Amino acid sequence: MDPAARLGFAQIDVLAQLAVSTVLLGGIYALIAVGLTLIFGIMRVVNFAHGEFLMLGMYLAFFAFTMRNLDPYLVLLAAIPIFFGVGLIVYVLIMKGVIHASHNVQIFTTVGLSTALQNVALVLWSGDFQVFRPWESSVVLRVAGTAFNLSQVIAFAVAVALTVALIAFMKWTHTGRVMRATAQDRDAATLMGIDTDRVYRLTFAIGIACVGAAGVLVSPLYAAYPQAGLQFVTLAYVVVVLGGLGDMAGAMLGSLIVAAVEVGGSYVFGAAWKEVFYFLLFIGVLVFRPAGIFGQRGAETLGT
C-alpha cells in the first residue's frame, strides 16, 4: 500500500521517494499514536480499543462520501467534535468505573470494548472492504523526482497540525498543565484541588477525537473494514513504546522510525513482510529498552 510500490521505481528517484513516503506515513501514524500515548500517560490505561475508533472514523468518512457525497476533509471538521463526544460517553459509561482498578481489569475492559465495537461494525456493515476515491486521490504531485498523491499530503499536513496543536495545548494552556500535573502525581493533583475525574474525561475524549480524526484522514488511502483498526493500532503500540509511553514528542519520533522501517522493509523485502519488521522492532525494544528509546529507566513498571 505504500506509494513507492504503487508507482514503480523506473521514473522516480528511489531514495528521495522512500524518504518522502516515510515522512508522509510517519505524520499519520503520529496522530494515531499521540491519542494512545496521551491516554496512557495521564490515565495509566492502555486502550486496547483505540484502533476501533480509527475504524469508526474510516466508516464515517466512507458513508459521508458515498451517501452524501461529502469530501472527507469537510467531514473531518464534524468528526473531531463527534469523536470528542463519543470519547466522553465511553469514558462515563465504561472507563470511569475501572480507572482505579487493577491492570487486568483495565486490559480486559478495553479488550471487551474492542471486540464489541469490531463486531457491531461487522453486523451493521458486513466484513467487506470499503474503498472510495475522492478527487484528491487522483491528483499526483511531482516534486524533485518524487511523486505522491494529494490525499497523502493533506492527511500528513492535517495530522501534523493536529499533533502539534495538541502538544502546544498540553504545554501552554492551563488545562494542559492541569492534565500534566495529574499525570505526574494523581494524589498530589487531587490535593491541589484538581478535579481528576474531569481531567480523565477530557483526556479520554481528546485521545478518541485524535484517533477518530486520523481515521477520517486515512480513509481515502486504506480500505475500511471491521478489523481495519487492528493493523494501525498494533503499529501505534510500537510507536508509543518506542517513544516511551506517555511521551508525545517521543511518539512523533517513534512514528518516523516505524514508518522508516515499514517503507525501507517493504522496499527491500517486499510489502508482504513489512509488518514482521516492526513487530520484531517492537519485541526488540520491549526486551532491550522497554521504557522507550529515550524514556526513563523503570518506567515500564510504573503503576504496577
Partner 1 sequence: MSRLAPDRWAAIVLFGAAAVTPLFVRDTFILDSVILILLWGALSAAWNVAGGYAGQVSLGHAAFFGIGAYAAALMSARYGRSPWLGLGVGVLLSIGAGAMIGYLSNRLKGPYFALSTIAFAEVLKIVASRWRGFTAGSEGVPVPFRPGFWTLGLGHVAWLYLILVLALGCYALQIYLERSRIGYQLAGVREDEDAAEALGIATRRRKVQAIVVSAALTSASGSLWAQYVGFVDPTHVFSIDLSVRFALNAIIGGIGTALGPFLGSVLITSLETYLRATFSGIKAGFTGIYLIIYGVVLILIVRFAPEGLTGIASRLRARRIRAHA
Q: Which residues here bind partner 1, judged by CB under 8 A?
A: 46, 94, 97-98, 101, 103-109, 111-120, 122-123, 126-127, 230, 234, 237-238, 241, 272-273, 275-276, 279-280, 282-283, 286-287, 290, 300-301, 303-304
148, 3 in Cβ contact below 8 A?
yes
Nearest approach, Cβ of residue 107 and partner 1 (Å): 5
Nearer to partner 1 by Cβ, of 40 and 65: the residue is 40
Least CB distance to partner 1 at residue 226 (A): 8
Are 251 and 5 a contacting pair, CB within 8 Å? Answer: no
The three cell numbers locating residue 241 = 513504546
Looking at the Cβ atoms of 45 and 155, the one nearer to partner 1 is: 45
> Closest CB to partner 1 among 103 and 198?
103
Least CB distance to partner 1 at residue 272 (A): 5
End-to-end CA distance of the chain: 39
Nearer to partner 1, 24 or 113 (CB): 113
Distance in angstroms (rounded) separating the CA atoms of residues 145 and 14: 9
Nearer to partner 1, 194 or 223 (CB): 223
In whole angstroms, how close is the CB of 105 to partner 1 at the nearest point? 5
Q: How far is the CB of 263 from partner 1 (least distance, A)?
A: 17
d(CA 112, CA 148): 38
- Distances in whole angstroms, Cα of residue 55 to Cα of each of 140, 156, 158, 300: 26, 18, 18, 28
Q: How far apart are CA 244 and CA 206, in angstroms?
A: 19
